[in-house]
Structure 1
Amino acid sequence: MTEKQKERVALDPTVLAVIANRVDAILREMTNTLLRSGRSAILTTARDFSCSIVTGDNRLLATAEGLPVHIFGSHLQTETMMKLHQDIAPGDAFLHNDPYSGNTHAADHTILVPVFVGDKHMFTAVAKAHQADIGNSQPSTYMPTAKDVYEEGALIFPATRVQRNYSDIDDIIRLCRLRIRVPDQWYGDYLATLGSARIGERRLIELVEKYGQETIEAFVEEWFDYSERRIAHALKGFKSGTYSASTAHDPLPGIVEESIPINITATVDAEGGHIEIDLRDNIDCLEAGINLSRATSVNSTVTGIFNVLDADIPHNHGTIRRIKVLLRENCIVGYPIHPTSCSMATSNVADRLINVTQSALSQATEFGVAEGGASLGAGTAVIAGKDKRRGNTPFVNQLVVTAMGGAASAMADGWLTMGVPVTGGLLLRDSVEIDELKYPIIIDKIVAVADSGGAGKYRGGASTRIEYGPRFADMSVAVMADSKINPARGARGGLPGRPHYIALRDNRTNEESEIGSFGVFNVGVHQRIVGIDAGGGGFGNPWERDPARVLEDVLEGWVTLECASNVYGVAFSGSGDKIAVDDQQTELLRRQLASA
């Protein structure tokens, strides 16, 4: 025991647990505040926002149900706030969306509220919310082909003070309202995010007043130590060694004509309870918007690690200090130099980095994970136009109305509504009814696609097909879909998931024409955009899947009879909903598959 530990207040384990749960309750209250008071559908139905709490000395304390891509870099943002402002005081609030100084990407507007108890800055309440519009040159917060931040056009705020003495600094508000296409929607979301952080401030002060500053400071240190012990113990179940893996992002037409490789080397010290991830063996940043920021390079790696660990290990500074991530400057999965664009740093390459991290570590543990579907296609597109119902006012919003097949693991089938890997299953799917009320669109169909999840002993999550379009006037639809050329890979003999598909259909002729994976497309009132997102990869050999589960898949529509026979090696007797597994013929089919 160190001298510092000896000097701490003795903390009963029950008190430790009670305070830990109280901190999580504060985060959930922050989350509910933002969810119920936000303006845009991307916040109020999809819940594309996250809350976290950081200590006054910039250590991540708690994350509750925050999206992994948002919260693991929160401390980088508070470090910037502390570095740039020497006069931080109660009543301050800061707007931070600068990807060059700790934020994820420019679309994630983060409100930082320093929490003072007396004269001491004890915590910072952090609320990060994805915006529908941020002043980009195109009506989208994702610009994969932007050569630099100037072509991207986003307003950048490097921990800029937006409140003093609990009052707005109006210059900043005016600036945003003049540059953002949907100013009232943005301002409503700003107030919701600010309110969330202020709730966190109020509740944290109450927490310290109830237990005393000395007890809360002791809790912080003991909570970190407990969390560190948990991850160290979990890593003892791994096999020590160095493990490498690679994957690839689809080409970017006109920028990169070949698949973009993503490489990782993981070194596990099981006995010592440490893990090191080396990302330096990757290409330099591209003149495009898919480069990762420092925050997303780190948080995507950390997410991939947590995906193969016990789910209830706390996600905070204590666990993260057992993880070392090696980055280099000007690397696509490192950290960019201004004005390199990283408009899409929270998707695409970030999803690939999570996938390849968990693939590498699957070699070191029995709990392996395949790749998840990663495809910001038609169902997660950014729609924009003019709403004739509301005086021709502009609208911009990102939809989240498809599922994206989750990765299969060594224990379970892929999660149907996992979403892209960076969201960790915490992004909600839109309410169709609310989307149609808020925006002048009509959604005709959302249906699961058979045989789209990668086959395996455990099956990848299925794709979904969506069809939608404008009601009254043309609108633009921005898509930025990966996983057509390089679908989600399976693991340990599992097969890849289905590639994505995007097309425009003419409702008068019913003709469907496939369009590109990247771009902003005009959709007319007589057209529909049609999309199938990417399926998740399977885990283990398909002919090892329990025949009873294959039968259930067939009856539920996840797998066709043809796929059940040709891929899973399962034969049936009977017909319709009266079919049953033919054990003898199944054994014969599987022997043939295994020897092929």
Structure 2
Amino acid sequence: MTAPDPTTAIDPVTAAVIQGALETIAVEMGHKLMRMSHSSIIRESEDFGAALTDPTGSQLCECRMSTPLQSGPIPGYVRHILKVVAGRGDAIRPGDVIMHNDPYGGASHGPDVAFCVPVFHQDALVGFSVTTAHHLDIGALTPGSCGIVDAVDTYAEGLQFKAIKVYEAGRRVDPVWQILEANLRAPQLVVGDMEAQIMAARIGAARFSELIETWGLAAITAAHDDLIAYSERLMREAIRALPDGEYRAVTHLDGYLDDPDPGRRDLPLVVTLRIAADTLEVDLTGTAPQLPDKPINMPFEGTVDCAIWLTVRSILLDSVTFGHIPQNAGLTRQIRIVAPKGCLANPDFPAPVIARFCPGNQLADTVMKALAQVAPDRVSAGIGNLRVASFSGLKDGRHWVHMEILEGSYGGRQGLDGMDAVDTLYANTRNNPIEDIEMHLPLRVTRYELREDAVAPGRWRGGIGTVREFTFLSDGGFSMEGDGHSHRPWGHDGGADGLTASVTLVPADGAPRALVSKIPYLKAKAGDRLVCLGPCGGGYGDPLARDPEAVLHDLREGLLGPEAAFADYGVAAMPAGLDEAATRAERGRRIVSPPS
């Protein structure tokens, strides 16, 4: 928006009231989308975004239930839609609905499709109402839209829509919908979800228009500018409180562990933070080169920037300490990102990117590892990364497709144990209830529990991953994009490293088969089982400093046994209670007094 006229300068209370009204609109959009959607990935997992922007794409608000990886890219979607439409010599008109999923044009990856509804006031474009969501199939080489880990370029990843009008001046553009229905494996689900997105975005546009009528455009503009300045001031103060300097961290992706080419395995992610006064530079120089024919590259805009911004904001401006902070461009103005062209974090078109989910999450973890050097009391130890499985098959001549996000875990943190069995960092989706899976799909979830004897020791232990076991009730197939099978989550300040993940296929009529973290489409028969062990986060702090009562609690919960309690923590305990004398003696024996 343009700078406010001094005569329309707004007081902070009014600005906050307007911001609250805007955020309420975004929340309503999210609720309506969830209620109207067909697939569990939106309805249950909340893998969607909803936001309002000004006419340039500057974000006014976002739905708090949505995942950062969906709402975060929305300004980029809008900027690229404006650029593409202008480049065609076209215009955006009332009644238009624009579809966009270009991974080199603001989208996080192709399956995350945005629907953008322009908002007009007195014949002038004043903003956009936008919804994004992950769709279960986008017409790629193999079924599903995740688990696609083998694609030669972006064209192999499915249909691409670059600022395509699906409604033009209020009229439905039927050929676009006909193309969609003819090229998607589960059109009844995907098209239904897309229609739900459009309706939710139209509701947001209508509410935004009502808000303009109530407050006036000048007041909303002034409130937006005031809150951008507020968010920027908070972020600059948070950066200024850190010691100036350069801080470097390295983690690794599995890559393709079964590939004979060493250049496709154990790929480094490198983050160097440069802090100077109230500015922060995040330099990714040293990160592995892009893989030109494997889809684990990360779009710079839509994935890399969101992973970095989300991590910096959540650590430096934790809502537990700072309360609610408006999400807008003020939080990112003072953060500069450097990523050499042609690396995993800034690939050249048309390098494939559809499997950017795990790499982006690992990049966020690497940023956190670097920040641990300057803000150790605000970070967690290394996270157990997420994985995404795609299940599919044919039933009565129709495709069924299901996407399952397999939880990871957080590392321990100052004063708190790591969170168990959760989506981490920029994902933030919910799990699918077993009942919903088994009600709609020919799958049975035969195990869903925490891993046993899989705790990374620390003063604050690492979070625990899950055991997930799926049984096919009819012939089908699956694929998986994952990570964390080769590299353990990092421990912090004396805490132990976490535990890696694993996947095992147990055929109904054969021997179990260990699989790597990235699994191209494999056929499965009825009765075959897929056993997925989730990774466990790193420990934080010296395990000998852990409260013995906390160790006893973990023992009674079945998270570890008496042998592990003694070996890892120096705690002599049985479920009946602690042996305090033996614990003091053992810990005293292990602690070496400093030299005099």
TM-score calculated relative to the size of structure 1: 0.92
Which residue, 364, 377, 385 being the options, matches 1:374?
385
Instruction: Report the Cα offset of residue 6 of structure 1.
Output: 7.1
Matched-pair contact (CA < 8 Å) for 2:151–2:157: no
Equivalent-residue separation in structure 1 for 2:33 and 2:516 (angstroms):
35
Q: How does 1:11-26 map to 2 (within 5 A)?
A: 11-26=10-25
Distance change (3 Å), C-alpha of 1:257 and 1:90:
closer
Distance change (3 Å), C-alpha of 1:593 and 1:113:
farther
Kindly provide the amino acid, as one letter, of the partner of residue 374 in structure 2.
Answer: A
Equivalent-residue separation in structure 1 for 2:7 and 2:592 (angstroms):
64
Matched-pair contact (CA < 8 Å) for 2:421–2:450: no
Kindly provide the amino acid, as one letter, of the partner of residue 587 in structure 1.
Answer: R
Kindly provide the amino acid, as one letter, of the partner of residue 448 in structure 2.
Answer: I
Equivalent-residue separation in structure 2 for 1:451 and 1:90 (angstroms):
60
Instruction: Report the Cα offset of residue 236 of structure 1.
Output: 3.4
Match of 2:441 in 1: 439
Q: How does 1:5-84 map to 2 (within 5 A)?
A: 7=6, 9-65=8-64, 66-84=66-84
Matched-pair contact (CA < 8 Å) for 2:48–2:71: no
SS at match of 1:307: helix
Kindly provide the amino acid, as one letter, of the partner of residue 123 in structure 1.
Answer: G
Matched, 1:157 2:161: yes
- Structure 1 range deviating more: 70-79 or 583-592: 583-592
Matched-pair contact (CA < 8 Å) for 1:240–1:364: no
Equivalent-residue separation in structure 1 for 2:210 and 2:37 (angstroms):
25
Matched-pair contact (CA < 8 Å) for 1:489–1:496: yes
Instruction: Report the Cα offset of residue 524 of structure 1.
Output: 1.5
Distance change (3 Å), C-alpha of 1:129 and 1:453:
farther
Q: Deviations over 1:12-43 (max 9, x none)?
A: 22212211111111111111111111111111
Match of 2:131 in 1: 127
Matched-pair contact (CA < 8 Å) for 1:308–1:362: no
Match of 1:553 in 2: 554
SS at match of 1:422: coil
Instruction: Compute the RMSD of aligned alpha carbons.
Output: 2.0
Equivalent-residue separation in structure 2 for 1:197 and 1:115 (angstroms):
10
Which residue, 279, 289, 293 being the options, matches 1:284?
289
Which residue, 314, 333, 337 being the options, matches 1:325?
337
Equivalent-residue separation in structure 2 for 1:565 and 1:250 (angstroms):
33
Instruction: Report the Cα offset of residue 317 of structure 1.
Output: 0.5
Distance change (3 Å), C-alpha of 1:583 and 1:191:
same
Percent identity of paired positions between Structure 1 and Structure 2? 26
Distance change (3 Å), C-alpha of 1:16 and 1:355:
same
Instruction: Report the Cα offset of residue 422 of structure 1.
Output: 2.5
Which residue, 343, 350, 360 being the options, matches 2:360?
350
Which residue, 445, 450, 453 being the options, matches 1:451?
453
Match of 1:409 in 2: 413
Match of 1:316 in 2: 328
Match of 2:504 in 1: 503
Instruction: Report the Cα offset of residue 5 of structure 1.
Output: 6.4
Distance change (3 Å), C-alpha of 1:593 and 1:368:
farther
Equivalent-residue separation in structure 1 for 2:545 and 2:522 (angstroms):
44
Instruction: Report the Cα offset of residue 119 of structure 1.
Output: 2.2
Instruction: Report the Cα offset of residue 591 of structure 1.
Output: 3.6
Equivalent-residue separation in structure 2 for 1:8 and 1:489 (angstroms):
54
SS at match of 2:49: strand
Instruction: Report the Cα offset of residue 183 of structure 1.
Output: 1.0
Match of 1:467 in 2: 469
Matched-pair contact (CA < 8 Å) for 1:92–1:166: yes
Kindly provide the amino acid, as one letter, of the partner of residue 395 in structure 1.
Answer: W
Instruction: Report the Cα offset of residue 120 of structure 1.
Output: 2.4
Kindly provide the amino acid, as one letter, of the partner of residue 331 in structure 1.
Answer: C
Equivalent-residue separation in structure 1 for 2:420 and 2:568 (angstroms):
20
Equivalent-residue separation in structure 2 for 1:257 and 1:82 (angstroms):
37
SS at match of 2:536: coil
Equivalent-residue separation in structure 2 for 1:507 and 1:339 (angstroms):
40
Match of 1:568 in 2: 569
Equivalent-residue separation in structure 2 for 1:166 and 1:552 (angstroms):
61
Matched-pair contact (CA < 8 Å) for 1:382–1:398: yes
Matched-pair contact (CA < 8 Å) for 1:408–1:460: yes
Distance change (3 Å), C-alpha of 1:466 and 1:212:
same
Equivalent-residue separation in structure 2 for 1:244 and 1:356 (angstroms):
9
Equivalent-residue separation in structure 2 for 1:5 and 1:30 (angstroms):
28
Match of 2:230 in 1: 226
Instruction: Report the Cα offset of residue 492 of structure 1.
Output: 1.8
Equivalent-residue separation in structure 1 for 2:160 and 2:553 (angstroms):
51
Matched, 1:587 2:587: no
- Structure 1 range deviating more: 188-197 or 234-243: 234-243
Matched-pair contact (CA < 8 Å) for 2:3–2:225: no
Equivalent-residue separation in structure 1 for 2:107 and 2:502 (angstroms):
31
Matched-pair contact (CA < 8 Å) for 1:60–1:72: no
Number of positions where the alignment pairs a residue of Structure 1 with one of Structure 2: 574
Equivalent-residue separation in structure 2 for 1:20 and 1:417 (angstroms):
34
Matched-pair contact (CA < 8 Å) for 2:308–2:367: yes
Kindly provide the amino acid, as one letter, of the partner of residue 462 in structure 1.
Answer: I
SS at match of 1:127: strand
Q: Deviations over 1:255-314 (max 9, x none)?
A: 545300000101123xx3221111133222112100000221111111221231222333
Matched, 1:217 2:259: no
Equivalent-residue separation in structure 1 for 2:360 and 2:177 (angstroms):
31
Instruction: Report the Cα offset of residue 553 of structure 1.
Output: 1.4
Matched, 1:531 2:539: no
TM-score calculated relative to the size of structure 2: 0.92
Equivalent-residue separation in structure 2 for 1:593 and 1:159 (angstroms):
64
Matched, 1:302 2:301: no
Matched-pair contact (CA < 8 Å) for 2:4–2:222: no
Match of 2:393 in 1: 385
Matched-pair contact (CA < 8 Å) for 2:508–2:526: no
Match of 2:512 in 1: 512
Match of 2:151 in 1: 146
SS at match of 2:426: helix
Equivalent-residue separation in structure 2 for 1:339 and 1:230 (angstroms):
38
Kindly provide the amino acid, as one letter, of the partner of residue 491 in structure 2.
Answer: G
Matched, 1:264 2:271: yes
Q: How does 1:129-208 map to 2 (within 5 A)?
A: 129-142=133-146, 143-150=148-155, 152-208=156-212
Matched, 1:397 2:402: yes
Matched-pair contact (CA < 8 Å) for 2:380–2:410: no
Equivalent-residue separation in structure 1 for 2:92 and 2:264 (angstroms):
48
Instruction: Report the Cα offset of residue 318 of structure 1.
Output: 0.9
Equivalent-residue separation in structure 2 for 1:563 and 1:88 (angstroms):
64
Instruction: Report the Cα offset of residue 450 of structure 1.
Output: 2.2
Instruction: Report the Cα offset of residue 353 of structure 1.
Output: 0.4
Equivalent-residue separation in structure 1 for 2:590 and 2:397 (angstroms):
60
Distance change (3 Å), C-alpha of 1:101 and 1:508:
closer
Equivalent-residue separation in structure 1 for 2:579 and 2:466 (angstroms):
30
Instruction: Report the Cα offset of residue 326 of structure 1.
Output: 1.4
Instruction: Report the Cα offset of residue 559 of structure 1.
Output: 2.7
**Structure 2 gap ranges (5+):** none
